[in-house]
């Protein structure tokens, strides 16, 4: 791209920054919480559809329920309901060349009930170059940034000879992915998909696989120091051993990173999320005794080439290295339950010349436009990467802004990042599709 045209893109985005902020505010102010099996995404989708109409895009709005045969697909996550939950797709271009897809999810987690202090969950605020609000970082800002990039290209009159498709999808949180998979099943595939999930501006060319599991340990209720024949089977004590064993397993997986080129450059790619633990009750009227059960919920991850059966086998085999835990598993005192879909991993082919050219383009534009040296990395949590890469015949990367407090109170996204992303995405649209 000649410097004069690059300068035009940058100047336009800088001049119209308020449009970006205003529309992020608009979608963040809407309750689009996902509460499986239901969700409130249409509150935000009406705003996206309105923006698409203003841009004059070709629009396709549909529910996953509208896709013939979709619910019979092996990758369909059963049990979700899609009444008043619709994907909104906006498209531009002559469809005579490269097809570039931007994909973002409209749903958020229900962190609105947490202790928000800087603002309310649906009251977005700009404070010291950070936009606060529920879903600001995960991932409404990334979605609006992609739309802003396309608006920039169109408003400046650049002809799009290829195709740009922007997907605002439902039901990504809680391992959903049915929204993106519905797009694939409807035929929305391309030459590259970009998911602007928060990656701290890393270009993620790989994605771990993952799953939420619930550990259940059964014990005997009672006091263990008055009864002569009482067996010491306090489930809290056994659960503590299992959790420490899982931390060892996490360390073991990190030790394998030398076998994975993308991961070996990451200091600690694997960090299990130990989310919740429950055993008995606490209170002045509560009888003092060992609980009969202990439950723990954990988000576990593994490398991108591991399938569902291997995932379970590797984890359980490692736990069985500990005699007490092996005995508990064999006696069904310890049981491991699935709490979400297995979110597949994946990795794009970095030896492919077209892929290498695109990544070089992104890095070059980022350097020239913003002085940033974007790193090649991996997405270390579940995203819809696998939908495109594994089922849509569409290479995918995850590239999004920095932020903080994701899935928590006072979530925020950095304004500088989304401004630079707008410029990087607009440049990519120009280079690939114009």
pLDDT digits (tens, 9 = 90+) for 146-184: 999 999 999 999 999 999 999 999 999 999 999 999 999
pLDDT at 289 over 90: no
| CA distance linking residue 89 with residue 99, whole number of Å | 14
pLDDT at 64 over 50: yes
pLDDT of 51 reads: 98
The residue behind tokens 């979709």 is 70
- Please state the three-class secondary structure of 80-118 as a single string: CCCCCCCEEEEEECCCCCCEEEEEEECCECCHHHCCCCC
Q: Please tell us whether the domain made up of 209-338 is placed in CATH 3.90.1150.10.
A: no
For 44, the 3-state DSSP assignment is helix
pLDDT of 57 reads: 98
The residue behind tokens 């992104």 is 362
pLDDT of 285 reads: 81
More confident residue, 216 or 280: 216
pLDDT of 281 reads: 87
Could you check whether 3-207+346-433 and 209-338 share the same CATH topology?
Answer: no
Domain boundaries, the chain: 3-207+346-433, 209-338
pLDDT category of residue 3 using cuts at 50, 70 and 90:
low
The mean per-residue pLDDT over the stretch 67-80 comes to: 95
pLDDT of 290 reads: 84
User: Which tens digits make up the pLDDT trace of 97-125?
Assistant: 999 999 999 999 999 999 999 999 999 99
Which of 223, 179, 84 shows the shortest CA–CA distance to 384?
179
pLDDT of 85 reads: 97
pLDDT of 62 reads: 98
pLDDT at 363 over 70: yes
pLDDT of 229 reads: 53
Q: Average pLDDT, whole number, for the chain?
A: 95
Alpha-carbon Rg for the chain, nearest whole angstrom, is 24
For the chain, report the end-to-end CA distance as a whole number of angstroms. Answer: 10
Cα distances (Å, whole numbers) of residue 129 to 28, 300, 415: 16, 34, 5
The mean per-residue pLDDT over the stretch 357-365 comes to: 96
pLDDT at 1 over 50: no
pLDDT category of residue 225 using cuts at 50, 70 and 90:
low
CATH of 3-207+346-433, one of 3.30.230.10, 3.30.457.10, 3.40.630.10, 3.40.50.300: 3.40.630.10
User: Which tens digits make up the pLDDT trace of 4-32?
Assistant: 888 899 999 999 999 999 999 999 999 99
pLDDT of 269 reads: 97
């Amino acid at each position: 791209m000649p410097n004069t045209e690059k300068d035009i893109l940058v100047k336009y985005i800088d001049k119209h920054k308020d449009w970006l902020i205003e529309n992020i505010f608009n979608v963040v102010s809407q309750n689009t919480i996902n509460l499986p099996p239901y969700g409130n995404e249409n509150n935000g989708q009406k705003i996206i559809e309105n923006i698409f109409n203003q841009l004059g895009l070709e629009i396709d709005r549909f529910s996953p329920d509208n896709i013939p045969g979709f619910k019979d697909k092996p990758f369909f996550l059963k049990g979700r309901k899609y009444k008043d939950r619709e994907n909104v797709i906006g498209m531009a271009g002559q469809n005579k060349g490269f097809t570039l897809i931007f994909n973002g999810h409209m749903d958020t987690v229900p962190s609105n009930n947490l202790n928000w202090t800087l603002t309310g969950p649906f009251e977005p605020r700009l404070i010291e170059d950070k936009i606060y609000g529920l879903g600001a970082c995960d991932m409404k800002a990334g979605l609006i940034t992609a739309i802003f990039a396309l608006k920039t290209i169109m408003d400046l009159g650049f002809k799009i000879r290829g195709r740009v498709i922007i997907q605002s999808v439902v039901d990504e949180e809680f391992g959903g992915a049915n929204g993106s998979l519905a797009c694939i099943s409807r035929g929305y595939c391309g030459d590259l998909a970009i998911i602007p999930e928060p990656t701290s501006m890393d270009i993620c060319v790989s994605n771990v696989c993952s799953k939420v599991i619930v550990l259940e340990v059964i014990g005997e209720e009672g006091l263990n120091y008055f009864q002569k024949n009482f067996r010491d089977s306090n489930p809290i004590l056994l659960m503590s051993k299992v959790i420490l064993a899982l931390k060892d397993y996490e360390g073991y997986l990190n030790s394998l990173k030398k076998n994975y080129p993308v991961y070996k450059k990451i200091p600690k790619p694997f960090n299990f999320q130990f989310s919740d633990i429950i055993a008995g009750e606490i209170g002045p009227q509560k009888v003092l005794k060992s609980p009969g059960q202990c439950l723990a919920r954990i988000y576990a991850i593994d490398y991108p080439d591991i399938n569902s059966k291997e995932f379970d086998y590797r984890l359980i085999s490692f736990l069985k290295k500990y005699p007490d835990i092996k005995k508990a598993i064999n006696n069904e005192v310890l049981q491991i339950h699935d709490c979400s879909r297995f979110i597949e991993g994946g990795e794009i082919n970095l030896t492919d010349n077209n892929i290498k050219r695109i990544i070089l383009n992104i890095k070059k534009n980022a350097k020239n436009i913003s002085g940033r040296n974007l790193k090649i990395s991996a997405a270390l949590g579940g995203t819809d990467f696998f939908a495109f890469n594994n089922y849509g015949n569409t290479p995918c990367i995850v590239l999004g802004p920095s932020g903080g407090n994701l899935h928590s109170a006072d979530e925020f996204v950095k304004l500088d990042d989304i401004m630079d992303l707008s410029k990087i995405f607009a440049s990519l649209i120009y280079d690939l599709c114009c």
